[in-house]
Amino acid sequence: MILSTRTKESIKTALAMTIAYGIALAMDWDRPYWAGFAVAMISLATIGQSFNKAALRMIGTLMGMGVALTLIALFAQDRWPFILFLSIWIGLCTYMMAGTKRQYFWHVSAFVCAIICMDGGPDPVNAFDTAILRAQETGLGILVYSLVAIFLWPSSSRAGFEATVGKLADTQRQLYLAYLDLMNGTGDIGKAQSLKSQAIQEQAQFNQLLAAAEGDSYEVHEQRQAWRRYQGQVVELGETLERWHDSFTGLQALDVQHLLPNLSAFGDELDLRLGQIERMLANQRPAQQPTATELTLDEEATRTLPHFHKAALAIGRKQLQHLEILTRSLFNSVSDLKGFGQSIAVPDAAAPPPAPFVPDPDRIMAAFRAMLILWLAWLTLIYVNGIPGGSGVVSMAVPIGMALATMPQVSVWQLFRPAMTSVLFAGSLYIFVMPKLSSFTGLGLMIFAATFAICYLFAAPRQVLGRVLGLALFVTLISVSNEQSYNFLSVANTALMFPTIFLIIAATAYIPFSPRPERVVLRLLGRFFRSSEYLTSIMHRDPGSAPTRLERWKQAFHARELATLPQKIGTWAPHIDTSTPPSTSPEQVQSLVTSLQVLTYRMQELHEARSNPQAQQLVKELLADFRAWRLRVQQTFQRLSQDPAAGEQATFRTGLNEIMKHLEARMRDTLDKTPDGQFDDRDEENFYHLLGAYRGVSEALIEYAGSAEDIIWQHWREERFA
């Protein structure tokens, strides 16, 4: 009989849960459901994923124990300083949890600390016993599930990881070819957008499976540094492809094939390299090595172009040349990984200096919300006599509140239905089934069957919330112990505890701003354009001058805001209500997000171009014109920060084009008066990159204005019930 993967994983989790309960009861440990919690939370699709999560849970448990015991030792008789410092720890963990690394470690560290503090109370001995018991039971659950996963249908991450790596390489190659066709005027924009979305999904899957494969594959673990380097190169390739694609706007009026005579051969060479990378990832020796190539420029034809067309060509050529270097590095990395001979590696770029620490406003808000949830739950416990659940209100509010604070797109009411369904399911077993069981044989069969049913019914990735809640409430409500007793009030108190917790969390969602996706996007747009305005305002400074520490910090903060806000807006965009007329279509919202990302790339290119050495005479002659452009764009950003719908595309295009035409005329006059040979090729190339970056920001602003005209902003601003 062939079992499906869904059935196998459900059996493994159910068997580990049953064994963990059996061992905990045989050892006469109190609260054996903590071992069940560990099994429920670390059971994932592959051994590597489970081991990674198990390690984070165990280390997080130990960290939470240490902090909890320290707080109890310091503030055993001072409840207000006690809860103050506990809330600070919860806030710190929430801030770190909202980052990009080890989110689960920080989550466990926080809620384990809260559980021990609430259960231990002011008694240090009781707190120490509770902490040790928590560590024992967590370790038991991890050990049992790990052994079951190893010996029963072991599922390694390596095969899935290698398949994902190959798929991502193929998708990026197809995306490169699609963009090359678009640059030549023969491509399909719909196909390119589809490939871009596919590449983003596969990149996320690659990142996840790499960490898992390092844990359950000896070969991947031994080469983890090389795989991490390859991971960074793949990310850089995706970003470079997007920057290259965004430069096509300025190339539309040019005969690129004529201006870049060997473009076809250059493009074929890059395609061949990407194909050979796919071949090596499939464990086949490459048919040939990369051939050194350079994208030549027809200088005679280029001299006849207007200056802004020269600048657009310089930007597009620069991105293609960067692709050439990057594909060579990728080829060499994969060649070394797969053992096809030591290749001549391209030297890595020098590591940038470490950026100063800058806080993330959204992570600070998540930390503040988690701290507020803790305080409200604590005050409710103190001042509401006989609150259902007792200290469990605080213990349960912390993990749920932290999860929702770091995922504000998820409404608290989305948890209410699965939570109440889980309470009814587990409560029915507790009331009607468990009193009839007289031995562990019957209890074990019930635990196995219930766990299997929950895991099997909620096996899809999108159902993970129902699975976690179902298992957590099941092990909590059945309250298994060696001296088993039954009380209907236990189920009733738990059922009444969750509405209290959800009301507390729902109230904090509106502090200090509305959580409606439309309102959130409007606020994020305001921040995006305020940061753009600031970065534009500092362009009057001499790039060679040394800024103060405060100026460096502010520049780093706004640069980070500019780089991250389009992605944050993109995570909120799918949650915008597009079903109630008059509404904006999802495609129009996505177009707005894309225009913001393009504007981000253009602003980054402008700051990079300004940092390169320029021909000082040209810069000096055109300083007044650059200043006029800067002030015009700065004013535009200021208006957009107050109202993202301010201005029309035609108005933006007319105003910015007038400045650009005047700038080009002034540049032509300046160059005509400049003696031949005064500027070398490097100066001229850098200046055209700068000029192209100015033009790119202008075009990106115009593109944003066009996307903004399609949005029904009044519908986003109006008050209505969620």
What is the rounded distance in angstroms from the CA atom of residue 203 to the CA atom of residue 168? 7
Contacts 24+ apart (CB under 8 A), 444-450: 444/18, 444/21, 444/22, 447/14, 447/17, 447/18, 447/21, 447/36, 447/478, 447/480, 448/14, 448/15, 448/17, 448/18, 449/14, 450/425, 450/426, 450/474
Q: Give the residue-averaged pLDDT of 212-236.
A: 86
Q: What is the pLDDT of residue 95?
A: 95
Q: What mean pLDDT is predicted for residues 624-635?
A: 86
Residue with tokens 């172009």: 305
Task: Tell me the pLDDT band of 47, cut-offs 50, 70 and 90.
Answer: confident
Can you tell me the mean pLDDT for 557-571?
Answer: 93
Once rounded to an integer, what is the mean pLDDT over residues 66-76?
A: 90
- Residue 208 is predicted with a pLDDT of 81
Whether 656 and 602 have beta carbons less than 8 Å apart is answered as no
pLDDT score, position 614 = 62
pTM of the model: 0.86
Side chain identity at residue 164, one-letter code: T
pLDDT at residue number 127? 84
| Single-letter amino acid, residue 508 | T
d(CA 345, CA 468): 47
Q: Which residue has the higher pLDDT, 49 or 604?
A: 604
Closest among 134, 137, 164 to 49, alpha carbons compared: 164
Nearest alpha carbon to residue 391 among 120, 691, 608, 573? 120
Query: What is the average pLDDT score of the chain?
Result: 86
451 to 120, 169, 254, 438, 474: CA distances (angstroms)? 29, 39, 64, 20, 8
Which two three-digit tokens encode residue 1?
């009989």
**Is the pLDDT confidence value at 431 over 80?**
yes
pLDDT of 221 > 50? The answer is yes
Among 304-308, 612-616, 697-701, the minimum mean pLDDT is found in 612-616
Write phi, then psi, for 545 (nearest 5 degrees): -75, 150
Identify the pLDDT of residue 355. Answer: 65
Start-to-end C-alpha separation, the chain: 49
Work out the burial of residue 343: count CB atoms within 10 Å of its CB; fewer than 13 is exposed, 13-18 middle, 19 or more buried.
middle
Q: Is 371:90 a contact under the CB 8 Å cutoff?
A: yes
The predicted pLDDT at position 363 comes to: 94
pLDDT tens sequence across 402-419? 999 988 888 888 888 888
* Contact assessment for residue 228 and residue 167, using Cβ atoms and an 8 Å cutoff: no
pLDDT number for residue 544: 63
pLDDT average, residue stretch 288-304? 86
Where does residue 646 rank: exposed (0-12), middle (13-18), buried (19+ CB within 10 A)? middle
What's residue 45's pLDDT? 61
Listed residue (257, 268, 261, 311) closest to 290, CA to CA: 268
Residue 24 scores a pLDDT above 70: yes
Q: b or e along 426-444 (b: 16 or more beta carbons within 10 Å of the residue's beta carbon)? A: bbebbeeebeeeeebeebb
Structure tokens at 695: 């033009």
In this prediction, residue 346 carries a pLDDT of 46
Q: How far is CA 196 from the centre of its chain?
A: 17
pLDDT at 48 over 80: no
For residue range 517-531, list pLDDT tens digits in order.
Answer: 999 999 999 999 999
* Residues above pLDDT 70, as percent of the chain: 92
pLDDT higher at 358 or 461: 358
Please give the Cα distance from 580 to 574 (Å, whole number).
14
Average pLDDT over residues 69-91: 91
Contacts of 697 (CB under 8 A, 6+ apart): 599, 602, 603, 606, 633
What pLDDT was estimated at residue 213? Answer: 81
Q: Is the pLDDT of residue 339 over 50?
A: yes
**Most confidently modeled of 207-216, 331-340, 650-659?**
331-340
φ/ψ (deg, to 5) at 616: -60, -35
The yes-or-no verdict on residue 460 having pLDDT over 90 is no
Can you tell me the mean pLDDT for 76-91?
A: 92
pLDDT tens, residue by residue, 87-108: 999 999 999 998 877 889 999 9
DSSP string, 455-508: HHHT-SGGGHHHHHHHHHHHHHHH---SS----HHHHHHHHHHHHHHHHHHHHH
Residue, of 331 and 584, whose pLDDT is higher: 331
The answer on pLDDT for 369 being more than 60 is yes
pLDDT at residue 490, as a whole number: 86
Predicted pLDDT at 344: 47
Please tell me which residue, 301 or 123, carries the higher pLDDT value.
301
Length of the chain: 722
In this predicted structure, the answer to whether residue 672 has a pLDDT above a threshold of 80 is no
The pLDDT confidence band at residue 1, using thresholds 50, 70 and 90, is low
How confident is the model over 147-172, as pLDDT tens digits? Answer: 998 888 887 778 888 899 999 999 99
Q: Are 178 and 170 in contact (CB under 8 A)?
A: no
pLDDT band at 345, cuts 50/70/90?
Answer: very low
pLDDT, position 338: 87
Give the mean pLDDT of 43-49. Answer: 71
Calpha distance 464→53 (Å, rounded): 15
Q: Which residue has the higher pLDDT, 312 or 474?
A: 474
Output phi, psi for 345, to 5 deg. -75, 145
Q: What is the DSSP string of 400-421?
A: HHHHHHH-TTS-THHHHHHHHH
pLDDT value, residue 428: 93
Average pLDDT over residues 175-182: 92
Using a pLDDT cut of 90, give the percent of the chain over it. 39
Q: Which of 248-257, 291-300, 607-616 has the lowest mean pLDDT?
A: 607-616
CA 716 → CA 96, 507, 523, 576, 637, distances in Å?
Answer: 31, 22, 11, 9, 20
